[in-house]
Structure 1
Amino acid sequence: MFRPKLLFTSLAALALGACAPQDQQAQTAAALAKDVILPTYSRWVDADRQLAASALAFCAGKADLDKARADFLAAQKAWAELQPLMVGPLAEGNRAWQVQFWPDKKNLVGRQVEQLVKAQPQVDAASLAKASVVVQGLSAYEYILFDSNLDMADSAQKARYCPLLQAIGERQKGLAEEILARWNSKDGMLDQLSNFPNQRYADSHEAISELLRVQVTALDTLKKKLGTPLGRQTKGLPQPMQAESWRSDTSLDNVAAALASAESLWLGADKHGIRSLLGDDQKALAEKIDAGYLEARGKLDALKQPLGVLLASEEGSKQVNDFYDSLDRVQRLHSGELAKALGVQLGFNANDGD
């Protein structure tokens, strides 16, 4: 005779649970995983498959240098878009270094590429995977295609560097495919961000907390990618060759891709992003962060020249510094007020101590 009462109590608990903040966080984590993060990983895989095919075509004389460079820039953009979404296997096991080596403070990329092509003239993807991370990824690929001391239109130089170029393309394709497979596997990252509890997250709040931590770290890294060449750590003395992708003059393109990706995590698809977790009483904070992204994008769009050119003039440096300051405001809003509003303890990030 107690069953109706127990049933009523259970239904009431379920109804309350459906309205709980945790449930909304679970929905948001799942939506971000399915509609924002996974599609970005898929684009990265597509770009790296094209990169591998491009290296083969270029080295076989079926595509010109401009085409090879364009395919590299597409792969680099796809990688930049992943920076604010680096949760799961890509953030583990030193894999990010295998995709890109930065910062390169002592021109290790150039020196180690030269050592490798001399020591292993016919290097392939399998042997490359056992080599230094410095020569496995996009930084080495960029060196081969864009360094001013190399001329890949010259047949002799092309023959010298093409085995490594093809090995890097194949290595990046294999790495990207492995990561995507692990995302889509049973109990992989897509499942872990969609169903709680699991081996990685005790509840959805842990998942949202990690997404915010990754976001904060990525925004902090963008500041570092500007601050280092700006000379913010060297008493204002610009160091343009400490910029990311300085050889291809695409430092700011990378920043733009990563910033757009960070904003996509904030907004989500169909408004199911981190922003949706703020209540009506936190509307002012949401609007402040919206305005922060808008300001940062505006200042970035105003930078019409490559970073190296801008740093060569006082006015250009001022423009870059203004953009840096706007980026700093966005990052601080995430690490301060947003983290507090969501009850997230950030702790240290990957850049602490750099």
Structure 2
Amino acid sequence: MRVTVLTLAVGLSLSSLCARADMVDDILDQQILPGMTTLASSAHQLSQVAQTDCQPGSAQLRDAYGVAFDAWISVSHLRFGPTETDNRAFALAFWPDSRSKIPKVLSQIITKPAPSLDLPSEFASYSIAARGFYALEFLLYDSVLSSHGTAAARCRLTRAIAQDIASTTDAILSDWQDTYAAQMRSPTDRYQSEAEIKQELFKALTTGFQVTADMRLSRPLGSFDQPRPNRAEARRSGRSLRHVRLSLQALEPLAVTLAGDNADLAEAFRAGFATALSATARLDDPSFAGVADPSSRFRIEALQNQVNALRGLAETDLGPSLGVDAGFNSLDGD
């Protein structure tokens, strides 16, 4: 009997270890690596389009921009490792820009474009406010910046930003493929244990909920007496609601996979995401301009509550089941 019990215990332990390894492999192979590959590929397409058509009203350029921006939002919750090296995440996405640095810096560059603007290695040292998707949004969609200075200067800057985005996403993908994925599969160096890897992935999930609830939704909502529609993310390109939906669609498979063999928890996540995504589908307010209208505001607040409910489910049920907590993330203290 003792041998049988011991054999069963060892079998269950090995099964548990295999399940955890499969969990990490699945997240890497089905979510992270494909997401980073799509990001780099779409960023290169954006850069290529900008080289041939850099006019702000170009449908082709705007379409390429939208595809690349979609790809970034879909992996933007993975704020660790290669995206954090050399502040790459901020180089791609300097937001929120609470002091309106982006238009000021872009205006200065357009007014007095330096020779270094055409050198990718030099442009990488420019102010973070001049780089990434939000800076490019100003050049493509802002009525002032898209007509400021000369067309030639704006074109040079558009191409420089697009090329910089491509270079940054290349560096992120290379790090994931060359070293970082292997370090997560075999925790011996950067990660010392399976628990540290689970902590990292759980933190990515809760960071995603935090950004969506506390920034993408809370910032434009402001207060009932003082709504802040101009604080909505990517409002100039009408992408505010789209980013909420893309983020939820990216977070769902991560949450369900982390739930592992806890079928009830996985189903609770699926139901919660379905409710939140249905709410985004019913909202006809791409830039959250309706935060000042009581009926529209109510629907946006309801969506925020649904995201917070998912966040609560992760913190109260998923974290303990993994034996981890959210911990500190790169956004804390911002």
What TM-score do the two structures reach when normalised by structure 1?
Answer: 0.86
Aligned runs of 1:149-168 on 2, under 5 Å?
149-151=144-146, 157-168=150-161
> 1:20-74, CA deviations, whole angstroms, 9 ceiling, x for partnerless residues?
x333212101111011110000000011001100110113x8x961111111111
The CA distance in 1 between the partners of 2:304 and 2:266, in whole Å, is: 21
Shift of 1:350: 3.4
Secondary structure of the structure 2 residue equivalent to 1:94: helix
Q: Give the superposition deviation at 1:14.
A: 6.5
Aligned partner of 2:240 in structure 1 is 251
1:23 corresponds to 2:18: yes
| Residues 46 and 68 in structure 2, CA contact (< 8 A), matched pair in contact too | yes
Q: 1:11 to 1:180 in 2, by over 3 A?
A: farther
For 1:111, which of 90, 104, 107 is the aligned residue? 104
- Residues of 2 paired with 1:303 and 1:16: CA distance? 47
Larger Rg: 1 or 2?
1
Pairs within 5 Å for 1:212-227: 212-223=202-213, 224-227=215-218
Shift of residue 316 of structure 1? Answer: 1.3
For the residue of structure 1 that corresponds to 2:125, the secondary structure is coil
State the Cα RMSD in Å: 2.4
Which letter does structure 2 place at the counterpart of 1:275? A
* Structure 2 Cα separation of the partners of residues 318 and 208 of structure 1: 36
Q: Which runs of 5+ in 1 are unaligned?
A: 1-9, 268-272
| Equivalence for 2:3 | none
CA contact (8 A) 1:77 1:257 kept: yes
Alignment partners' CA distance in 2, 1:178 and 1:340 = 35
Are the equivalent residues in 2 in contact too, given 1:47–1:75 (CA < 8 A)? yes
Cα distance in 1 for residues equivalent to 2:23 and 2:75: 19
Maintained 8 Å contact 2:216/2:233:
yes
Match of 1:208 among 174, 198, 201: 198
Percent identity (aligned): 27
Matched, 1:242 2:231: yes
Query: Which residue, 177, 183, 189 being the options, matches 2:170?
Result: 177
1:344 aligns with 2:324: yes
Structure 2, gaps ≥5 residues long:
1-5
Q: Answer whether contact 1:289 1:330 (CA < 8 A) is retained.
A: yes
Higher RCO, 1 vs 2 (CA within 8 Å, ≥6 residues apart): 1
2:219 maps to what in 1? Answer: 228
Q: Structure 2 vs 1, CA of residues 276 and 97 (structure 1 numbering), >3 Å: closer, same or farther?
A: same
Partner amino acid, structure 1, of 2:53:
F
TM-score by length of 2: 0.90
What is the deviation of 1:161?
A: 0.5
Matched-pair contact (CA < 8 Å) for 1:22–1:205: no
| Partners of 2:225 and 2:315 in 1: CA distance | 26
The 4+ residue runs of structure 1 with deviation greater than 6 A are 10-14
Letter in 2 for 1:180: L
1:1-354 superposed matches below 5 A: 15=11, 17-19=13-15, 21-59=16-54, 65-122=58-115, 123-124=117-118, 125-151=120-146, 157-185=150-178, 188-195=179-186, 197-223=187-213, 224-232=215-223, 236-267=225-256, 273-278=257-262, 283=264, 285-354=265-334
Q: 1:264 to 1:12 in 2, by over 3 A?
A: closer
